[in-house]
A and B are shown apart, each in its own frame.
Chain A
Amino acid sequence: MKHIKTLCGGVLKASAAKGGCGECQTSCQSACKTSCTVANQKCEKSV
């Protein structure tokens, strides 16, 4: 495509089906902890 370059495709929908196991790390977002955008975490199944 000339006008659009896709950086990443749609990953969320598929993740809904296989997700929710809850084994991943918790992610506090406050300034006093390792605060974060949740999106920088890894899925436990992909590590």
Chain B
Amino acid sequence: MVHTFKIKDTAIAVDVASGAVHVVSDIALDIIRQFDEKPGEDCPDWLFERLDSYPMDEIKEAYDEVYQLCKANLLYTDDAYAQIAAETRKQPLVKALCLHVSHDCNLRCGYCFAGTGNFCGERCIMSEETGKKAIDFVIKRSGKRRNIEIDFFGGEPLMNFEVVKKLTAYAREQEKIHNKNFRLTLTTNGVLLDEDKLDFINEHMSNLVLSIDGRKSVNDHMRKTVSGEGSYDVIMPRLKRAAQSRNQDNYYVRGTFTRHNLDFCADVLHLANEGFKQISVEPVVGGADCGYAIREEDLPLVYDQYEQLAEEILQRNQDGRRFNFFHFMIDLTQGPCVIKRMSGCGAGCEYVAVTPEGDIYPCHQFVGNDGFLLGNVYADDYSAEKTQMFADANVYTKPKCAECWAKFYCSGGCHANAYQFGGDIKAPYEIGCAMERKRVECALYIKAKNAE
């Protein structure tokens, strides 16, 4: 499978199965677009007729180059990974944990999937004991895997910071005993992020995720305090301080855009102008009837915003105002292996979420959905059987993904979104896919421009 696209004057051909990416001339682009499968050595006559706006000798020349790439297994290569996909994940091991240390929150964000922090249950916080049980659980279930991630999540985890501290100490103690390497991260809205907490976080957390949506008006429209005021003025100075204290690295400010701010490029740039160097802003996930979810008719505008953002990033790369936009970062040569790329997030098998009650769910997005309850850390009733549906989900078992050119960049999308929209974790959420593909195109475009 070969995917071609053009942004501005740059035409790109992606050979999906090999991962090769080529910048091509207009003629080469038009030639490639005529073939669904590997072309033969000799340039067919019908090609000259179809592409009669180009001189014949140029067509021949470009055709020959296309053919050379095919011969070198860099274009129209066969996709032979389906078998590997079927063989992997037979023994799912848990290697990442989302610890819901607080099912309570001090903000009331309009789009919160957790139903304002409590996941539609009681507002409660995790006890030290339950947290320790969860850590024991992941140690037990991780087999020989050494690297284990724990994300302190919520609600708002800083509302239960004493337990975060105790669990951090416990993880550090246990990793020595069991020869594990815990990578701790924390996701916060910043409201309670004072110097003491920040010091602790900087000492122990390998990544820190800070939530803010961008411009004040946009942030405050969705991210409100309990009393209904905007949160921007409270959090902005704290988030800036946090970013600086981590030397502008190993953190992200992350925001969500909705159909209320389809001009989200301005929000990304706002965050960049405020000095943040690691930025992630992405489309909200919400049901079709929620009013703020991105609709199909919004897509042209969204595409245009991504292209604008790509141009801006290229510009800023040159003039010293460089920042990273998470969704445009692609590592073409050193990225993960194809096995990782075909299986994605690992929710429900490699990755699980644990609630304050000790309940285990496939991931934070499934919390509270009884049908997906996988067990409880107190009960030793977690069965790999229940997780089989997730273990089996990969880009070959999801029919749309198997046909999708972006599969090895995307890895099959979010099961939770898919479930939310189509009732099936193997049927990806189309509008999300459209945006994902556009982001990958823009990312490749930036690579091409930087290589000029």
Task: Using CB atoms and an 8 Å cutoff, list the residues of chain A in contact with chain B.
Answer: 1-13, 15-16, 18-20, 22-44, 46
Contacts and interface: CB of A to CB of B under 8 A. Distances in A.
Contacts of B219: none
Given A7-B23, A10-B19, A40-B335, 4 more contacts: A8-B19, A10-B77, A22-B95, A40-B326
Interface string B179-192: 00001010100000
B408 interface: yes
Contacts of A39: 330-332, 335-336, 341, 408-409, 440
A26 B339 contact: no
A45 B284 CA distance: 33
Contact of A40 (B77, B282, B331, B346): B331
Contacts of B81: 12, 16
A33 B341 contact: no
Contacts, number: 219
Contact of A15 (B284, B330, B337): B337
A40 to B, nearest CB: 4
A23 B326 contact: no
Given A4-B28, A10-B18, A28-B363, A35 B443 contact: no
B409 A38 contact: yes
Nearest to B84: A16
A34 B365 CA distance: 14
Name B's interface SS. Answer: mixed
A40 B334 contact: no
10 contacts: A5-B24, A6-B20, A7-B451, A9-B18, A19-B340, A28-B414, A33-B364, A34-B326, A39-B335, A39-B408
Given A20-B337, A37-B439, A39-B409, A5 B93 contact: no
B41 interface: no
B333 interface: yes
Contact of A19 (B17, B207, B338): B338
A6 B410 contact: no
A37 B338 contact: no
A29 B401 CA distance: 15
Contacts of A1: 65, 68
B333 A4 contact: no
Contact of A33 (B209, B340, B436, B440): B209
Interface string B81-95: 100100010000101
Contacts of A3: 24-25, 27-28, 61-62, 65-66
B436 A37 contact: yes
Central interface residue in B13, B254, B333, B340, by most chain A CB within 10 Å: B340
Given A19-B339, A25-B149, A28-B351, A5 B22 contact: yes
Contacts of B102: none
Nearest to A16: B338
Interface string B3-26: 000000000110101111111110
B423 to A, nearest CB: 17
